[in-house]
Chain A
Amino acid sequence: MIELFNIKKSFGIQEVLKGITLSIPKGKTTVVLGRSGCGKSVLLKVILRLLPLDEGQIIIGGVDTSNFSDSEMMPIRRKIGMLFQSSALFDSMTVWQNVAYPLLENTKLSFDEIDKRVMALLDFVELPEAAEKLPGALSGGMKKRVALARALIAQPEYIFYDEPTTGLDPITASKINLLIKRTQNEYGTTSVVVTHDMVSALTVGDFFAFIHDGKIAFTGNRNEVLKSSAKEMQDFIADAEPREILQEFLNIK
Chain B
Amino acid sequence: MTQAMSAFFEALRQKFGAQIQSISTDREDEVYLLVGDSDIRALAEYLRSEFDARLVTVFAEDRRSAESVFFNYYVFERKGDTRYLIVRAPVHADHPEFPSLSAGLPAVNWQEREIQDWFGLKAVGHPNPRRVAMHDNWPDVHPLRKDFPLGTVLPPFEGERHIYRPALGEGVFQVPVGPVHAGTIEPGHFNFAVAGEPILYLQLRMFYTHKGTEKLFEKLPIQKAVFLAESISGDSSFSHGTAFCQAIERAAQMEVPLRALIMRTILLELERICNHVADIGAIANDVGFVVANAHASRLKEMLVSLNEQLTGNRLLRGMVCVGGVRRGWDAVQLVALRAAIEVFASEFQDLVALIDSSESTRDRLEQTGVLRPEKAKDLGIVGVVGRASGVDLDVRRDHPYAAYGRYSFRVPVYQVGDVTHRMQVRGDEVRESLGIIRGAADESLHGDFRAQVPPIPADRCALSAVEGWRGEIIHWIRTGPDNHLERCKIKDPSLNNWPALVEAVQGNIIADFPVINKSFNLSYSGTDR
Partners in one complex: no
Residues of A that sit less than 8 Å from B by CB: none
